[in-house]
Amino acid sequence: MNTNFPREYATLRHRALRRARKALVIGATGILAAAGVISFSAPASAASTLGASAAAKGRYFGSAVAAGHLGESQYASTLDTEFNAVTPENEMKWDAVESTRNSFNFGSADQIVSHAQGKGMKVRGHTLVWYSQLPGWVGGLSAGDLRSAMNNHITKVMQHYQGKIYAWDVVNEAFQDGSSGARRSSPFQDKLGNGYIEEAFRTARAADSGAKLCYNDYNTDGVNAKSDAVYAMVKDFKARGVPIDCVGFQSHFNSQSPVPSDYRANLQRFADLGVDVQITELDIEGSGSAQATSYGNVVTACLNVTRCTGMTVWGVTDKYSWRSSGTPLLFDSNYAKKPAYATVLSTLGGSGSGSGGGGSTGGSGATCTTTYTRTASWSDRYNGQVTVTAGNSAISDWAVQVTLASPQKVSTTWSGSPSWDSSGNVMTMKPNGNGSLATGASTSFGFTVMTNGSPAVPTVGSCTAS
């Protein structure tokens, strides 16, 4: 007697059912694909928050957070909705966690970390060794004592947060501004000499081998004497096997210190050393379309550097910014989305509505915003649609830039007049004929992208109107 019969029968029946199901799927797929309406791959439409849009590009979009504001519902809901990474603004600094030698207080920092963990957000640890926000007792130590205090601080703090921190700013702002390229005077530099930075990184790796170890600084965003000095240090570390995984570019910008034209090139030269790069404390003073355009340029630069793993703005709302009067953030003091928000979102490939516009430059008050939607996908290509909407006044012309990640290529476009840059990856779309739109009115253009194996979402830049 064949005792295997029931099992064999079940297996055969299962295989037959699987074949039937597969035939049905193939049949249905063929019909729908022929009709041009099937979507084989996500997303059917673009993400509508900063964090989700950045995630679709394989990156995080974070904010500095102050524990004291988490109880404010608008603060927490904006943070939780829009961001997928946090950096404690002050709570992990030396004066906050070890104001008395070897007595650690992690209360406020823990609050931020557990909030972030509850929401699935990454945490950047900021910062272990910095000349500022140091308790007085550190400055009074002898060299030997300072060395052991520094290593103890790094070890205890990192071990407390082991497994919870994506990246640590191990050393912060160790170089001087200006043309000297010299190290900044600090208790560490003055008593331990240049070697303290290397020692801090080696201690950090030993304390938590799972966290990425970053050097973080400001005024290093473009190619200049200060960034050259940091570059030389990172190159030397990589050559000698000193553990360093990433470099943070703070990116505090204003009219005196605008986004440098070689920002992307500078990020890329560091990435080429074999480290990740991150935009760690982004804020840009200003308002309206000028601010929006600068934000868009920063995001575009990060998206164009493969090893730029994420961006963090230095606060959720202008209300609590360290330079609040310069209104440098993406949400105003009432948590309304600013034009810069809309530009960042659309540059990240997301779609949604900001309260302003996606960075118009008409100079006459003419504004427009864009939303991007993937309307159909096939295994080798997809269709994208950009809807252009006039702002608070009628416009007579508009232009939108769409950047593709190589090796993707546009094979066809409709309802617009495209032109291309020399790389063939940046398309500027203008109206087909008359570009007039009444206040709040919309028009759309579309394009087919051959993916050539890349799943990337195109970057829709700001909309310019006149």
Whose Cβ is closer to ligand G3I: residue 106's or residue 322's? 322
What is the smallest separation between the CB atom of 61 and ligand G3I, expressed in angstroms?
18
335 binds ligand G3I (CB under 6 A): no
Whose Cβ is closer to ligand G3I: residue 88's or residue 260's? 88
Catalytic-role residue among 82, 98, 199, 281: 281
Cβ contact 367:289 at 8 Å: yes
Cα angle value 346/45/51 (rounded, 5°): 50
What is the smallest separation between the CB atom of 105 and ligand G3I, expressed in angstroms?
14
Residue numbers 129-168 binding ligand G3I by CB under 6 A:
132-133
Q: Which amino acid is at 308?
A: C
Residue numbers 114-133 binding ligand G3I by CB under 6 A:
132-133
Backbone angles phi, psi at 315, to 5 degrees: 135, 155
Instruction: Enter the DSSP assignment of 208.
Output: -
What is the smallest separation between the CB atom of 203 and ligand G3I, expressed in angstroms?
21
d(CA 260, CA 249) in angstroms, rounded, equals 12
d(CA 385, CA 377) in angstroms, rounded, equals 12
> Taking Cα atoms as reference points, which of 465, 92, 71 lies closest to residue 288?
465
Whose Cβ is closer to ligand G3I: residue 322's or residue 335's? 322
Whose Cβ is closer to ligand G3I: residue 199's or residue 281's? 281
Whose Cβ is closer to ligand G3I: residue 95's or residue 397's? 95
* First-residue to last-residue Cα distance in the chain: 86
Side-chain half-sphere exposure of 417, counting CA atoms within 13 A = 9
Pairing between β-strand 276-284 and β-strand 246-249 as defined by DSSP bridges: parallel
Tokens (6 digits) for 372: 């991007």
d(CA 300, CA 308) in angstroms, rounded, equals 11
Catalytic-role residue among 82, 91, 98, 173: 173
What is the smallest separation between the CB atom of 136 and ligand G3I, expressed in angstroms?
15
Whose Cβ is closer to ligand G3I: residue 249's or residue 445's? 249
User: By rule CB under 6 A, what string of x and - marks binding of each residue 368-397 to ligand G3I?
Assistant: ------------------------------
Q: Which of 48, 74, 90, 415 binds ligand G3I (CB under 6 A)?
A: 90
Tokens (6 digits) for 100: 């008395």
How many chain residues bind ligand G3I (CB under 6 A)? 8
Three-class DSSP category at 150: helix
d(CA 173, CA 281) in angstroms, rounded, equals 13
Backbone angles phi, psi at 162, to 5 degrees: -50, 130
Q: Which of 281, 367, 384, 416 binds ligand G3I (CB under 6 A)?
A: 281
User: By rule CB under 6 A, what string of x and - marks binding of each residue 180-219 to ligand G3I?
Assistant: --------------------------------------x-
Tokens (6 digits) for 344: 């960042």
Whose Cβ is closer to ligand G3I: residue 322's or residue 378's? 322
Residue numbers 244-263 binding ligand G3I by CB under 6 A:
250
Look up 72 and say whether it is catalytic: no
Look up 173 and say whether it is catalytic: yes
What is the smallest separation between the CB atom of 320 and ligand G3I, expressed in angstroms?
8
Pseudo-torsion of CA 56, 57, 60, 62, nearest 10°? -90
Three-class DSSP category at 320: helix
Q: Which of 46, 62, 89, 166 binds ligand G3I (CB under 6 A)?
A: 89
- What are the residues binding ligand G3I (CB under 6 A)? 89-90, 132-133, 218, 250, 281, 322
Residues annotated as part of the active site = 173, 281
